[in-house]
Structure 1
Amino acid sequence: MNPLADRIRPQTLDDVVGQTHLLGKGALLRRVVESGQIPNMIFYGPPGTGKTTVASIIANSAGKTLHKLNGTTASTSDIKSVVGELDTFAGVGGVLLYLDEIQYLNKKQQQSLLEFIENGQITLIASTTENPYFYVYNAILSRATIFEFKPVSKDEVKKAVERAFRIIGEERGAPLDIEDGVCDHIAQLCGGDVRKAINAAELLSLAAKDGRVTLADAREAAQRSSMKYDRDGDEHYDILSALQKSVRGSDTDAALHYLARLLEAGDLISPCRRLLVMASEDIGMAYPLAAVIVKSCVDSAMQLGLPEARIPLAQAVITLCTAPKSNSGVIAIDKAMADVEAGMVYEIPAHLRDSHYKGAAKLGRGNGYLYPHDFKNHWVKQQYLPDKLKGRQYYQFGPNKTEQAAKAYWDKVKGESKE
């Protein structure tokens, strides 16, 4: 017997759980489907959100010869077989190719479809759990419309779970006795993945004693299943991005939440590296000591390992969130890098060049250099940038207390030297 998720797969768009932003009345994808003119489309989103279901519904109503391929198993000969049908009677009205997990096809395989997609002989509906902008060939992307599928809400998943238990009861000839809280628990811990929720319902029904599904069994079946995480996928970088933006926005609670998600997934290296970057990128000159504190916390975390590592890393996150913010340092180095990358690498002034070798003076190396420590306040005016960059300014003091104090000091020192 097929898995329950396949047996109860929706047959119409109205039966699909969630995705109202795409399939609700008046939504763009629904209007496109109802027009009867199916364009090339790519469905992108997490597993169990209805991509395959919606693609199948559209394909079955398209009135074209339908071919289904899966990128994990499809070979070049499979693609050639689809293309070869275009010149036969079966391909007269065009072919609709449903390609699941397109990210697993290599560039050459994707390119082999391009000519036929462009002239309309093949209409492509592809689905992927990975960001298509990273994994799908650009020429395919430019000829397709991308629709993003979102994780299904808890309430919608609960409806699917209740429907699953009801159908299981019908198949076995007697309704299941579902303990209060079972459906809510499955819906909560399946992370918006309807397929996972239905699979959990099927598993619990098989294990049910005398037809009773208990909350204790549901907790065991669904434990940790809400953690959607792939260290090489979008979820990984999305969490890291959210962590840094929460720190930058001084939201301690949000930052701790995203740190916890990384640590719960067993990822210690990524948050450590990102916290080290944040200390200089987002706090920087407003509180330079933050870099020292975070380095110490990271070192402690790496020596301790999980679960104890959570404590110094939480300290680092709270320190960064509550610290004053400045990005003046990263702005300054980016400006300097931009000039260097643009080829603005001019001759170093002679008085700054190395003079620690015999004959340097004859070449003019170091001649005229003024040693700042010999002057009041250990500063003396002289040129340091190359002639063609004289007067160029990369760093500007930020408005925070620390940088403004430094600015006041140097304004005074440099002002005194001019008197």
Structure 2
Amino acid sequence: MGPGVTPSGQTTAPERSKAAWHDLRMSILARTPLSLGDLRRDLSFSAVFSGFLAMFVGLSGTLALLFSAAKSSHLTAAQTSSWVMSVCVAIGVTGLVLSWVYRAPVVTAFSTPGLALLASDMNRFSYADVIGALIVTALVVTVLGFSGLYARLVERIPSAVAAAVLAGILLPFALGVFRALPSSPLLVGLMVATYLVARRFAARYAVPLALLIGLIVAGFTGSFTGAAFAWTLPSLVFTAPSFSLSATLVLALPMTILALASQHLPGLAVMKASGFGRVPATPLVGVTGLASLLSASFGAHTTTLAAITAAICAGPEAHPEPSKRYVAGLASGASYLLAALAGGVLAGAFALLPPALLAALAGLALTGSLLSSLEASLREAAWREVALLTLVVTASGVTFLGVGSAFWGIVVGLAATLVLRPGRTA
């Protein structure tokens, strides 16, 4: 019996952690370094636009929630600015570094479920206690990521289930295009028509052209809200943390579960379903956890892998060749860094746009990824029932025990696999 092996033949936790670190080092060292020449050769407008769009979609629906949470907790303007800047910097840096190292469209985001929790409960605690809870959350995620424990869990998810989860995540956005049609028929109708015509003659520019037409129509029809906004200097405000058992139980514990179950798990499933399963989960989860740890004292809540916006960068709209889609990940990271410097303008710009335009833009941008994931999930007849159950639960939008439908879709998919496809993991 070798060292680090239990009598039952299983490796011990220290040995598993050591193996995870070894795999991480080897996965980085084995890669051909990306050069600026490679980047210039692979650069494309569609990939850069997809990266910008990922940032645009990622922030458009969540900045308002962030400002609401800050207001309910009576944060100062400087503290709120620090929150926006620090979380955008964390997302931007992690997206740039991971996309560069792994030549894959690694898109990160902040935890939207975690933000919703903060908006609901952070006003019950001092700001220092909230910062302490954010640090605890980040520390736990970092340890689980770099130890390799979380990666081994994700590796057990069958490809059909991962693809079905992605399809279930994206389906509501595709449906949202036509749900927005009755309220803004001209705007949405012309955006859809432009998208279809462009797909026929200039497929890579279909989404940018649809956005352009949407902006023109919104301007002519007076659909902009006319909200005023102004650029303000960004700032970082350090807050010394304090740690309380109450804040740990009420904030840190659920935020950790939400980050791992509702963000990282579907995020890794999206990467796998989009053909980038070669990227190891260990550095993705570990690095985002480390970024959260370093930025928490400036107000940033948990940085995680993205799911919905990752599909924008990992899908065929970014580039027909998967090997060149990493540019979209780099562009997304760079866009978040720019957003960190222009938080005031960005928030006002999002408030200015009509909701129907945002809904149509998101749905059209994700159409290609939805089609690819549906094809992958239903390709093999033996897996179709498992995939359908997974897709339906994920698309339902159900929330149970505070955890979203993407997690429960994976749970149902794995349960169905055990019953219908015992012993199968492919």
Length-normalised TM-score, structure 1: 0.20
Q: TM-score, normalised by structure 2?
A: 0.20
From the two aligned structures, give the one with the greater strand fraction.
1
Q: Tell me which of the two structures has the higher relative contact order, counting C-alpha pairs closer than 8 angstroms and 6 or more residues apart.
A: 2
Instruction: Name the larger-Rg structure.
Output: 1
